[in-house]
Amino acid sequence: MEISFTIYRKTSYVKTSPYQRLLQHIKAMGRAVVAFSGGVDSSLLAYVTHQALGDGMVAITITTPYIPEWEIDAARLFAKQHNIGHEIIQLSIPATILHNPPDRCYLCKKELFSALRRRAEKMCIDTIIDGSNIDDLSDYRPGMRALGELNIASPMLELGLSKDTIRSLSRALGLETWNRPASACLLSRIPYHTGITPAELKRIARAETALRQLNISGSRVRSHGDIARIEVPVESFTDLLLTGLRGQLIEKIKVCGYTYVTLDLEGYQTGSLNKTLVIEDSHE
């Protein structure tokens, strides 16, 4: 991993090869809109873009019923703390993804980034950038195709930055997001080919709020009808099962409307519901 940095806390200047490359890469853009979710990647991108372009950039966050409110709140707070120009666009659930098709991510990103493109055009800004990195190429990511079709630039991907590098740079810069757990929209908690309703999204959000309230980090609630399949890091199993947390968690999840609460013995896995796509392909 290509990381070598010296921290100067008074000036907030970080001397690093990846940082300087990213800064110069973005400076060449002149003006840009940053697709800003408030997660680790987009927060670093928004911060560096602001350093590079100043008032020549704006971070835009899109909110929909399947994006948790706590993520929107985190994005709003980060932008305020770092004096970054910030806008929020509210969208409904696109009709094309109401049955959660396997290419949901592509269809969703096409809608969301088209909205960003329209807003950027009104501001006379040609360049839209997002926080994709090389680790995003290792999983099923149909949304990447939408970025290409809409001419969305991904500076960190273009420079070959990994998630570990992004976290290290964020920590060196003093960004509070450096160790934030990976996040994904609530649709990733619902099996493919399952109808999406506002009520189901609210149920999942309430259940994951319960996990957050119990300080169970890096976790997910995969929703299978009456069953809540809880994914937590394997190293958290002992604390969860051998303490009072188990009973509290069961109670809180059932209040959300689930009959059964299960713990996935494989632990937390990014995109675990994508396994069903492999099974589908093997039957074709």
Q: Which residue has the higher pLDDT, 3 or 154?
A: 154
Q: For the residues 42-48, what does the mean pLDDT come to?
A: 98
Cα distances from 214 to residues 48, 240, 253, in angstroms, run 33, 10, 11
CA 58/CA 36 separation, integer angstroms: 9
pLDDT tens readout for residues 134-179: 998 876 778 889 999 999 999 999 999 999 999 999 999 999 999 9
Q: Which residue has the higher pLDDT, 149 or 6?
A: 149
Contacts of 7 (CB under 8 A, 6+ apart): 14, 172, 174
CA 201/CA 192 separation, integer angstroms: 14
Cα distances from 3 to residues 17, 111, 189, in angstroms, run 7, 36, 34
Cα distances from 4 to residues 7, 65, 161, 278, in angstroms, run 10, 41, 14, 40
Q: How confident is the model at residue 4 (pLDDT cuts 50, 70, 90)?
A: very low
How much of the chain, in percent, has pLDDT values that exceed 70?
A: 91
Strand partners, 227: 224, 260
Q: Does the domain made of 6-172 have the CATH classification 3.40.630.30?
A: no
Q: For the residues 13-37, what does the mean pLDDT come to?
A: 88
Q: Which of 49-58, 62-71, 137-146, 245-254 has the lowest mean pLDDT?
A: 137-146
Q: For the residues 84-103, what does the mean pLDDT come to?
A: 95
Would you say residue 13 has pLDDT above 80?
no
CA 158/CA 78 separation, integer angstroms: 25
- Does residue 115 contact residue 89 with C-beta atoms inside 8 Å? yes
pLDDT of residue 16: 55
Average pLDDT, the chain: 90
CA 119/CA 35 separation, integer angstroms: 11
SS3 content of the chain, % helix, strand, coil (to 5): 50, 15, 35
The CATH architecture one would assign to domain 186-283 is 2-Layer Sandwich (3.30)
Q: Both tokens of residue 222?
A: 């995969």
- Does residue 77 contact residue 202 with C-beta atoms inside 8 Å? no
pLDDT of residue 281: 47
Would you say residue 207 has pLDDT above 80?
yes
Q: What's the predicted TM-score (pTM) here?
A: 0.86
For 122, the enclosing helix (H) or strand (E) is helix 104-122
Tell me the domain boundaries of the chain. Answer: 6-172, 186-283
Q: For the residues 16-24, what does the mean pLDDT come to?
A: 88
What DSSP letter does each residue of 213-231 carry, written as one string?
Answer: HTT--S-EEEEETTEEEEE
